[in-house]
Amino acid sequence: MTKVLQFLADAEQKAFDLEHRRKIRFNIGKYNAAVQTGLTWYDDHELARERASYLKSKVINNLDQYLLEFERNFTARGGKVIWAQDANDALREIGKIMARRKARTVVKAKSMTTEEIHLNHFLGQNGIDSIETDLGEYIVQLNGERPYHIVTPAMHLNKHDIANIFVKHLGIEYTDDAQKLVLTARHLLRDKYTTAEVGITGGNFLIADTGAVAVTENEGNARLSATFPRTHIAIVGIEKVIPKLEDLALFWPLLSTSGTGQQVTVYNTIYTGPRQPLEKDGPDEMYVVLLDNGRTNLLAQPDKREALHCIRCGACLNVCPVYKNIGGHTYEATYSGPIGSVITPHLSGLPEHKHLSYASSLCGACTSVCPVKINIHGILLKNRQQSVQEGLADKEERLAVKLWMRAMLSRTLLNLLPARAKNYVLTRLLDLSWNKRRGTLAVAPKSFNRMWRERK
């Protein structure tokens, strides 16, 4: 089954799964209510969005300069930078680090870039135990799933689902007490931090003028993952750069308020490299993997490169009517929802993922909530245009559009068939699409052209 047919089948199944929709609407509803409260803390939220959009645009349009500035400042404090053109480059270099450290255990904080390069699968193939330390990530890892949401990996599960997962995979006694479930995970993970040879995190922002990686989280697990192991690896997309340390005062609140409604996330940490001579804790060595993996495909397209402004807050997912009905796993991609539909075709290949750009109502809700003002629904349209220009549209679609265009440009052809014949053609063409869930389209018995002539 092709990716598009699989997507349509999965989307239909999830859209009519009432229990799934109930869980998602409940969980997203809590976030949306919190976000509305959080926005009231801004004197001028629109001004903050404008400033963030300007700064990200400035960086993306001069990305090479800011990345080199970051590298220069980060390496000055003993850090090491690895430039990875694609996932294979990143995994190969990470594998070398693991071999040098003789690593058998890795503790990993929540990171979408590690999901993007399938790091856990790679480590497992090399006999290395990789443990997710974020609670949501740990739950979906136990259940053999990919994260459901950019910010909330286990959004599709309630506490009864989680309890059953813990019973099945950890062998504990069933309990639906959320606090007991959290304590179970905490107890199992604590020893992992002190025994792991390598800790891996992502990075929410790369700070050019300081040569630092900023990580934001709510549980403190990323800080533990970066502090206890002797080696810390941060895997970060090249688009995550911001110019100055002071810019965090703008981006940290925007990120937290847009995603979860918090004034600021609970734990915000800035890593400037390995432990220095007078510092009491931290890793002996720190690497930053700068991941391209298709991002320069977007960078090379001026009309779409603003998609690289994304700070991964998840706000567009929470307001998207399509996402709320079909869920995160249906996209079969690392990044789901509107922003995932924008960037995945460029990161992972337009021929295989062009259908994601059609998984949108183009209502514009995603654009209206984006904290860096990305024109998400506009870029989705441009993706569709690109897929047609590159000849990726289905043969049936191309034929239908060609016939429609010929008929619309010729009154003679349009009047050639009677209404009954036109209705037969419409019914056959739309039988497996429009007519499946909607009333059948019907042509009027008399066209406007004919009625006008009769009137005369």
Structural domains of the chain sorted by starting position, each given as residue range(s) with its CATH number in brackets: 41-293 (3.40.50.10420), 396-455 (no CATH)
Question: Of the candidates 226, 7, 208, 17, which has an alpha carbon nearest to the alpha carbon of residue 109?
Answer: 226
Question: Of the candidates 176, 183, 117, 108, which has an alpha carbon nearest to the alpha carbon of residue 140?
Answer: 108
- pLDDT value, residue 379: 98
How many angstroms separate the Cα of 341 from the Cα of each of 60, 307, 373? 20, 11, 17
Q: What is the number of other CB atoms lying within 10 angstroms of the CB of residue 117?
A: 23
- pLDDT value, residue 87: 97
- pLDDT value, residue 342: 97
pLDDT surpassing 80 at residue 346: yes
Report residue 314 CA to chain centroid gap.
7
Q: Residue range 303-330: average pLDDT?
A: 96
What tokens appear for 22 in the block? Answer: 């109930």
- pLDDT value, residue 393: 86
- pLDDT value, residue 417: 82
- pLDDT value, residue 93: 98
Q: Residue range 224-245: average pLDDT?
A: 97
Task: Band the pLDDT of 176: cuts 50, 70, 90.
Answer: confident
- pLDDT value, residue 407: 83
Question: Of the candidates 261, 233, 260, 264, which has an alpha carbon nearest to the alpha carbon of residue 248?
Answer: 264
Average pLDDT, the chain: 94
Kindly tell me the burial class for residue 358, based on how many C-beta atoms sit within 10 Å of its own C-beta (0-12, 13-18, 19 or more): middle
Write out the chain in H/E/C secondary structure. CCHHHHHHHHHHHHHCCHHHHHHHHHHHHHHHHHHHHHHCCCCCHHHHHHHHHHHHHHHHCCHHHHHHHHHHHHHCCCCEEEEECCHHHHHHHHHHHHHHHCCCEEEECCCHHHHHCCHHHHHHHCCCEEEECCHHHHHHHHCCCCCCCCCCCCCCCCHHHHHHHHHHHHCCCCCCCHHHHHHHHHHHHHHHHHHCCEEEECCCEEECCCCEEEEEECCCHHHHHHHCCCEEEEEEEHHHEECCHHHHHHHHHHHHHHHHCCCCCCEEEEECCCCCCCCCCCCCEEEEEEECCCHHHHHCCCCCHHHHHCCCCCHHHHHCHHHHHHCCHHHCCCCCHHHHHHHHHHHHCHHHHHHHHHCCCCCCHHHHHCCCCCCHHHHHHHHHHHHHHCCCCCHHHHHHHHHHHHHHCCHHHHCCCCHHHHHHHHHHHHCCCHHHHCCCCCCCCCCHHHHHHHHC
- pLDDT value, residue 431: 81
Q: Name 214's Cβ contacts closer than 8 Å, sequence gap at least 6.
A: 203, 204, 205, 206, 207, 248, 252, 268, 269, 270, 271
pLDDT surpassing 80 at residue 1: no
- pLDDT value, residue 415: 83
pLDDT surpassing 90 at residue 251: yes
CA geometry: angle 435, 437, 443, nearest 5 deg: 35
- pLDDT value, residue 238: 98
- pLDDT value, residue 100: 96
Distance CA(448)–CA(25), nearest Å, equals: 45
Q: Name 289's Cβ contacts closer than 8 Å, sequence gap at least 6.
A: 82, 84, 90, 93, 94, 233, 234, 235, 236
Provide the whole-model pTM: 0.92
Q: Residue range 338-349: average pLDDT?
A: 96
- pLDDT value, residue 339: 97
- pLDDT value, residue 105: 97
- pLDDT value, residue 416: 81
Question: Of the candidates 34, 80, 92, 50, which has an alpha carbon nearest to the alpha carbon of residue 374?
Answer: 50
Kindly tell me the burial class for residue 105, based on how many C-beta atoms sit within 10 Å of its own C-beta (0-12, 13-18, 19 or more): middle
CA geometry: angle 84, 86, 88, nearest 5 deg: 95
Q: What is the pLDDT of residues 205-218, one digit of tens each?
A: 999 999 999 999 99
Q: What is the pLDDT of residues 407-451, one digit of tens each?
A: 889 888 888 888 888 888 888 888 877 888 888 888 898 888 889
What tokens appear for 453 in the block? Answer: 């002539």
Task: Band the pLDDT of 29: cuts 50, 70, 90.
Answer: very high
Q: What is the pLDDT of residues 40-93, one digit of tens each?
A: 999 999 999 999 999 999 999 999 999 999 999 999 999 999 999 999 999 999
What tokens appear for 9 in the block? Answer: 């089948």
pLDDT surpassing 80 at residue 297: yes
Task: Band the pLDDT of 296: cuts 50, 70, 90.
Answer: very high
Contact in structure between 339 and 316 (CB atoms under 8 Å): yes
- pLDDT value, residue 246: 98
